[in-house]
Every structure is written in C-alpha cells, then in structure tokens.
Amino acid sequence: MLEYKKELLFVDGLSVCEIAGEVGTPFYLYSRKKLIENFRKFDSAFSGVKHIVCYAMKANENPYLLKILARNGCGCDIVSGGELKLAVSSGINPKRIVFAGVGKRDDEIRRAILNGILMFNIESIPELYRIDKIAKSLNKTAGISFRVNPDIDAKTHPHITTGLSHNKFGLCFEDAFAGYILGKALKNIKIIGIHTHIGSQISDSGSFVLASKKISKYIRKLKDAGIGLKYIDMGGGLGIKYKDEKIISTSDYAKAIRSHLPENHTLILEPGRFLIGNAGVMVTKILYVKKTLKKNFLVVDAGMNDLVRPAIYGAYHEIIPVIKRKGIKHNWDVVGPICESSDVFAKDRRMLPAKADDFLAVLCAGAYGYSMSSNYNQRARAAEVLVENNKWRIIRCREKL
Ligand code: LLP
C-alpha cells in the first residue's frame, strides 16, 4: 500500500503529505484495499474446509472497518459487552460472534444471549454455572465451548503469550473435561465446541502444529465420553512482519492448524493483527529536533497514548519519512511528548535527515494501535482516516479537548 513517488510517500496512490496537511496530526491512516486483501488471503487459505473467520476486534474496533469486514462475511471474536454492541451495530452477524474472556459480567452475558451469539468460550467452571443461570432466567439456551489452555510455549513476547499453564486464560485439559461433563447436565447450556488461543504475533508454525495435535487428541477423548462437538475454534495469533521476523505464510499457517484436526467440524479462526496490522500506519509530525550532548531526538506530536506498543512491549515499528530528504543517515531517538521515559517510538534509529514540521509514518500500526490508545496526559485521541477507491475519508474524528 506504500510507495514513494519521487521523494513523497503515497498510500494507495494518495499523497500522505496532502492528507496530513488537511487532517492534522497525529492520525491513523488505513488502506481498505490492503484490509480486504488480507482478509481474502486469510479466508482463502482455509477454503478447503468449513470455517468461520471471527476477527478479533480488539485489534482495531473502528466501526467503519468493522462494516467492511461484515460485508465480506466476517464474524467477530469479542471480549466485552462494548465489543458486542459495536460488532452487532456494525452489521456483524451474531451467529458469527464468539465471546472469550476470563471476566464476563452478568450484564454482558445477558446481552450476548439476547443477541443470539454463536457461543461463549468459557474460561472457568463458575462461569459455566453463571451462564446457565442467566440463560435459564431468560428461558434460553446458550451455546458454549471451553477454552482450553494447552500449555504450549508459542515463543512470543511474554506479555502476549496466553497458552501456558501459568497464564490466567482457559482451563487445563482435565478441568475442561470436568466442565464438559458438568455442562452436559445443565439444561440451558448447549455444548457445541472447543476453543484455544495460544498467543499473539506467533512466527513459529510448530506451536500451531502442537496445538492442533493436542486439541485433536482431546476431541477424541471427549468423543469417547459421549461429547460430540461441532466447532473447533483455534483462536488467532498469526504474526506479521514488523522488522525482519520470519513469518508464516497463510497457507503454511492453515496447514499447521489443520495438521491433526478431524475434518468433520467447522473451524473457527480469530485473526486480529493479521487482518489489519499492515493495513494501517500512524502519521505524526516532528515538533522539535533536539540535540543534546549524548543524543539526537526527534520530538513528535504522537505519544505513547496514541501507540503504546513500543512502550509496553518494546515493540519495533519501522518509521519512514513522508518527505524523503537527501543527506546522510544519523541515529535518532523518536520520542513523544508524554511525561514518561518510555514514551519512545524508536531508539538510535538510523534515519535520513529530517526537519521540524516534517511528517513521519510509523508502519504496521493498524493493529493494537488506536484500540489501545488513551487520554493519558489529557491528550485527545487521534483521527482515523481510510483510503478507499482513490479517495480518503475520515472514519473517526479527532477527539476534542
Ligand atoms: N483470540 C483471542 C481469544 C485473543 O485473546 C486474541 C488476542 C486474538 C484472538 C487475536 O490475536 P492476534 O491474531 O491479533 O494475534 N496488544 C498486543 C496483542 C494482544 C493480543 C491479545 N489477544 C500487541 O499489541 O501485540
């Protein structure tokens, strides 16, 4: 989606400089084309098997983008009543919504049942009873699966690994088994599936193969106990290229996921980052070029409140100039205006010369960018802009103070 024409950066044929001039900075800039391309690439990797793609909307909850995905037949993985409301109002079919999370509240469970979502991915035995009780009070039946924690090291950042036994997520195989047996006896519970999610930004296909193997063995055990399942939800986690990581192709990912699974089920996949990560950049402006005895700083107008990933995960995001200037590359720290030492987008990054008022694009910021932004330091959240059909439009206004 990105290309330089002469020295200027373009997104899908539109000049970033021109958009920035009109919208003001910072803002997120997305490509509809890239989003749809990512969705189709992911979806078609599973074309040989019955499946539902349930986009993990926590990655990016912009309603306009959700509508685009909804129109393409995408479902959602949700983790709160807020996400439920947004998914439904954006046209996501409730029959394609799965609800995960260790701390579902009563009102959220009630809403989800009333909206007729496909299933709850249950993360504890008390939650099973809670859902049954609420479903009973509504005279309804709730479709459920248990989220199993397969104790797999997905070899990713410790903050985004979820499938290890010390993580708070899901139930170990034995406890989930007890849950399935208990659930069978509950009148307002309908057991329909199994769920697992081993982590995020995974670049090791072996972890998905192992998950596939463990889940399929477990499904056989359940079957022997008289518990048949219709849905196998393998979660999300497919990594993308931020720097020079080796990434898994969608076809190898599909192969890994399907490697051991039985064929007569409907597969559910919950990609978040893969769909929107590289379809968005954050555009920011250099406020000051500050040189000290030890360091050269580019102080920009976006902060960790706009994009928190570098501050909390030490995440790498490539940063490129919107106007390429000629000269020799130097080392720069790209920092925001927030009163925290971790408000740093890049350290000692080799970059072309830049001036105050120049724009920079922070790449691969589409996932967990805006959705994790905050008002810290009383800063208004950024605007969101979409390029579609050779035009750009604001799909969320900048917040006002
Ligand atoms: N399903 C479940 C149950 C999840 O918890 C997640 C992400 C996903 C699917 C989607 O995973 P993905 O395909 O995006 O890897 N804020 C972190 C990522 C946290 C992911 C949380 N769960 C980051 O910026 O890297």
CA of 302 to the centre of ligand 1 (A): 23
The H-or-E segment that residue 147 falls in is strand 142-147
Distance 192 CA to ligand 1 centre (A): 23
Read off the pLDDT of residues 87-132 as tens digits, 9 standing for 90 and up: 999 999 999 999 999 999 999 999 999 999 999 999 999 999 999 9
For the Cβ of 369 lying below 6 angstroms from any atom of ligand 1, the answer is no
Is the CB of 210 inside a 6 Å radius of any atom of ligand 1?
A: no
Q: What is the mean pLDDT of the chain?
A: 96
Report the percentage of the chain scoring pLDDT > 90.
Answer: 95
pLDDT tens digits for range 121-164: 999 999 999 999 999 999 999 999 999 999 998 877 777 667 67
Closest CA to 319 of 350, 277, 294: 350
Which of 76, 119, 122, 273 gets mutated to test ligand 1 (max ligand atoms within 8 A of its CB)? 273
| pLDDT at res. 355 | 95
Q: What is the whole-number distance in angstroms between the Cα of residue 363 and the centre of ligand 1?
A: 18
Is 39 a pocket residue for ligand 1 (Cβ < 6 Å)? no
pLDDT digits (tens, 9 = 90+) for 236-289: 999 999 999 999 999 999 999 999 999 999 999 999 999 999 999 999 999 999
Q: How confident is residue 336, by pLDDT bands cut at 50, 70 and 90?
A: very high
Tokens of 312: 């909390």
The whole-model pTM stands at: 0.97
pLDDT value for 153: 86
Work out the number of other CB atoms within 10 angstroms of the CB of residue 97: 24
- What is residue 154's predicted lDDT score, i.e. its pLDDT? 83
Whole-number Å distance, alpha carbon 163 to ligand 1 midpoint, is: 12
Q: Judge if the beta carbon of residue 101 lies within 6 A of ligand 1.
A: no
- The fold of the 100-271 domain, in CATH, is TIM Barrel (3.20.20)
Are 161 and 128 in contact by the 8 Å Cβ rule? The answer is: no
The C-alpha atoms of residue 218 and residue 285 are separated, in whole angstroms, by 52
CATH architecture of 2-30+277-396: Beta Barrel (2.40)
Report which ligand 1 atom has the smallest distance to the Cα of 368.
24
Instruction: Tell me, in angstroms, the distance from the centre of ligand 1 to residue 370's CA.
Output: 14
* Pocket lining: 272 vs ligand 1, CB cutoff 6 Å: yes
Q: Cα(271) to centroid of ligand 1, in Å?
A: 8
Catalytic site includes residue 339 = yes
Q: How many CB atoms lie within 10 A of CB 355?
A: 11
Domains of the chain: which residue ranges?
Answer: 2-30+277-396, 100-271
Q: Which atom in ligand 1 lies closest to the alpha carbon of residue 195?
A: 3
Q: Report which ligand 1 atom has the smallest distance to the Cα of 309.
A: 24
- Burial environment of residue 400 by CB neighbours within 10 A (0 to 12, 13 to 18, 19 or more): exposed
Residue of 172, 339, 364, 397 with catalytic role: 339
Query: Pick from 274, 334, 252, 263: which is nearest to 299 by CA?
Result: 334
Q: Taking Cα atoms as reference points, which of 117, 199, 192 lies closest to residue 156? A: 199
Average pLDDT value for residue range 58-83: 98
Minimum-distance ligand 1 atom for the alpha carbon of 308: 24
Whether 258 lines ligand 1, by a CB cut-off of 6 Å, is no
Find out whether the beta carbon of 384 lies less than 6 Å from any atom of ligand 1. no
Nearest to 392 by CA among 63, 67, 30, 24: 30
Asked if the domains at 2-30+277-396 and 100-271 fall in one CATH topology, the answer is no
The pLDDT tens digits of the residues spanning 24-66 come to 999 999 999 999 999 999 999 999 999 999 999 999 999 999 9
> Does the CB atom of residue 56 touch ligand 1 within 6 A?
yes
In tens, the pLDDT along 188-244 reads 999 999 999 999 999 999 999 999 999 999 999 999 999 999 999 999 999 999 999
Which residue has a Cα nearest atom 16 of ligand 1? 368
Instruction: Indicate which residue's Cα is closest to atom 9 of ligand 1.
Output: 236
**How many helices (H) and strands (E) would you count in the chain?**
11, 20
Tell me, in angstroms, the distance from the centre of ligand 1 to residue 236's CA.
7
Q: How much helix, strand and coil, in percent to the nearest 5, is found in the chain?
A: 35, 25, 40
Ligand 1 pocket test, candidate residues 257, 270, 370, most atoms within 8 A of CB: 270
